[in-house]
Each structure stands twice: as structure tokens, then as C-alpha cells.
Amino acid sequence: MTRSIRAALPLAALLAAGCGGSGDGSGPSTGDARAEAPAAERVVASVVTDALDAPWALAFLPDGRMLVSERRGGLRIVAPSGATRAVRGAPAVADADQGGLLDVAISPEFARDATVFLAYAEPADGGARTAVARAVLDGDAIRDLRVIFRQRPALPGGEHFGSRLAFARDGTLFVTLGDRQRREGARDLRSHLGKVVRIRADGGVPPDNPFVGRADALPEIWSFGHRNPQGATIEPSSGALWTSEHGPRGGDEIDAPVPGGDFGWPEVGYGREYDDGSPIGPTSRAGVVEPLHVWTPVSVAPSGMTFATTDRVPGWRGDLFVGALAGRTLVRLDVEGGRVVGEQRLLTGLGERIRDVAESPDGTLHLVTDSGRLMRVEVR
């Protein structure tokens, strides 16, 4: 498979350019415009609470309360009213640079098992590594914490942990893992660097993983050639995993990792080197899976993301919403038939680094920002 660019243009610009629904894979196509979707100026965000400390992720409990991780190690429950309570029992974390307490996810069987999952930078001999733990949420505490996955190897430094969690329909758990700035590791199947892995909820390896049985590969690996994927969610209509990934200078991607898929890093991509601005490499190569969408030449630094699954806001059902850090915006990607066919940038006036986006049980989008805000997205 070859990689073909999905240009990062606002939806209106794509329409004005006359990009039709050719479906030939040579560039973005808009299909039929969804005129009923609200204009960007009608989309606003109201503060639920601004008392959080560097929040990194949020996950909704069935009753509408939110479980929020804070990068420096805190875990909080936030009520819809904005009232917050600290949750005791979070694991010790390597709080340095991009490391800390990162993603939080709710068990698909939460109503029965009250289990939550945490991804975090774990202190270890040699530095730190991404770890995933499961625990039982019991009132204002988590108990019975058990680590079910540890990235290998542990390394010094505090960058590129990845660490998003997404449960597949079959109950298996996807974990995104950054390259820890050891780019050569992204292509080494004997390490977890720069990979997406798939494990069972107890930490075991699903027998249908693509590299099971190979002596030269770790069996948890689902896909490889990733740089720093900080977003992950399941596409509702297909059940496929979608991820967001940071490029170096430009070349941020939306991908759909497939079993055994090679996503190119560091040999193929749209980004450029930090030191001299030279291209990372070619933008396509036989055998490398193409991205669904690319931001180039300017990075938006995509982070957490979610699909809208209801008609609460007309025109949004099935679309992907991506928080952007450097871009300081909420990106709406118009998705049709598994393809990104347009882009709209929302909440640009906030000036906030949007770290994560989640959909509440009633279909309302919520987001957290690096400044400590949890906000509800509304339409005037």
C-alpha cells in the first residue's frame, strides 16, 4: 500500500477547491457537503471546572461523572456540576517532560466489574517506560492495582510515551506506544518502541495477533513504524482502530492501524527534520500503509480524539473530533465510508491546548486542556 496525502484544509476550503468524490485515493474528496452541520462560530465551550492540574485524559462513568487523569500523578472524579474529588491509590509515575499519569479508560464491563485502566510513565531501572495497570474503582479510591503491560525496553528521557488506550469490540485493549525518541526502535519487532500493541484485559496476548509465533517479534505487537501516537479511538461503523500521531515538523497523521501494518516511521513520512528542515524521507513506499489524513507543512500536534455517535448535534454523527495542542483547536474531521473527506476547526478563539476529547453518555462532547480546564462543547 502507498501513502497518499490527505491535505489539512478547512472544510470550506476543500469545497471551494471543488474536490469531488473521486475515490481514487489521490487526494482528499468531500463527497456531499453536510450543510446541516453547525458553522464554527456557533460552537462554544463552557467551563465545567478549571481546578485541574495538567489534565491528560477523561473517561465517562455510566452515571455521567468523569474520571480525569492529571499528568503529575493525580486522579480525580468530576461531577457534571464541576465538583471534584481526589481518587486515592493511583500508581507512582515518572513525572518528567511528557511523562506522568496519562490515559484512563473504563472497562467495557464496568457496570459489572467497576474496573478502570491506567496508562502511565512508570519509573524503572534505566529510566522509564509506558505501563498499563488495571484496578477497581471503589468510591474515592482505586484498589487491587495490577500492572498488566510494560513497554520494553525502559529508557532514560521523558518524551514520546504514546499511551492512549482503546477497547475493541471484542474486549481486547489497544495501547499506543511512542518511540521514546529512539526512532530506529519503531521498526524493530523485538521492542515495543513505536508500536501499537493489542492485549487482553488481563494482559494476555490474543492468539490472533499478527506476530504470534514469530521468534523475531514480540507477540503483543499489532502495528509498527509509529512515532508518537497520542490519540486512539474505535470507529463506530466499522469497529476499526483509528489513531492520531505526532510528526516531527509537519506530517501529523490520522491512521487506521491494521494487523501487521508498517506505518513508515522513521523512513517514510511527510515531516521534516528539526535540525536542518530536510525531509524525513519519501512520502510513500510500497508496503507502507497510507495515512487517512495528514497535516503538513504545519503540525497541529493531535492528541486525544473521539467519534460522535449520536445526532445530538445535527451533522456530527460519525465524525471524528481531535484535540490539537500546537494548533490550539478542536478539529472536526468529516468522515464518510471510512475516509476523511473534510476538515473544520472549532474553538480556535479559546487559545487552549486541547489534550483530550470524550463523548458523554448523553452525546455531549467534553474536553480537557493543558491549562487545567474541563469544558463542555455546546452549539448556540
pLDDT per position as a tens digit, 56-92: 999 999 999 999 999 999 999 999 999 999 999 999 9
Which residues are within 8 A (CB) of 16 and not within 5 positions of it... i.e. 6 or more apart? none
C-alpha cell at 346: 472549532
C-alpha cell at 17: 477547491
Residue 346 φ/ψ, nearest 5 degrees:
-115, 155
DSSP string for 76-99? EEE-TTS-EEE-B-PPP---STT-
- Delimit the domains of the chain by residue range: 11-54+158-379
Rounded distance between C-alpha atoms, residue 295 and residue 271, angstroms: 9
Mean pLDDT, rounded, for 315-338: 97
Three-state SS for 210? coil
Residue 160 designated active-site = yes
Domain spanning 11-54+158-379: which CATH class is it, in words? mainly beta
Three-state SS for 13? helix
Q: What is the pLDDT of residue 36?
A: 74
> Is the distance from CB of 39 to CB of 23 less than 8 angstroms?
no
> Is the distance from CB of 76 to CB of 85 less than 8 angstroms?
yes
Q: Band of the pLDDT at 5, cuts 50, 70, 90?
A: very low
Candidate list 160, 192, 246, 293, residue with the active-site label: 160
The answer on pLDDT for 217 being more than 60 is yes
Q: How many CB atoms lie within 10 A of CB 348?
A: 15
The enclosing H or E element of 67 equals strand 66-70
The answer on pLDDT for 329 being more than 70 is yes
% of the chain at pLDDT higher than 70:
91
Rounded distance between C-alpha atoms, residue 152 and residue 187, angstroms: 14
Q: What is the pTM of this model?
A: 0.91
Which residue is associated with the grid cell 486515592? 88
Q: Backbone dihedral region of 102: left (phi > 0), alpha (psi from -120 to 50 degrees) or beta?
A: alpha
Mean pLDDT, rounded, for 108-135: 97
DSSP label at 286? T
Q: How many residues does the chain have?
A: 380
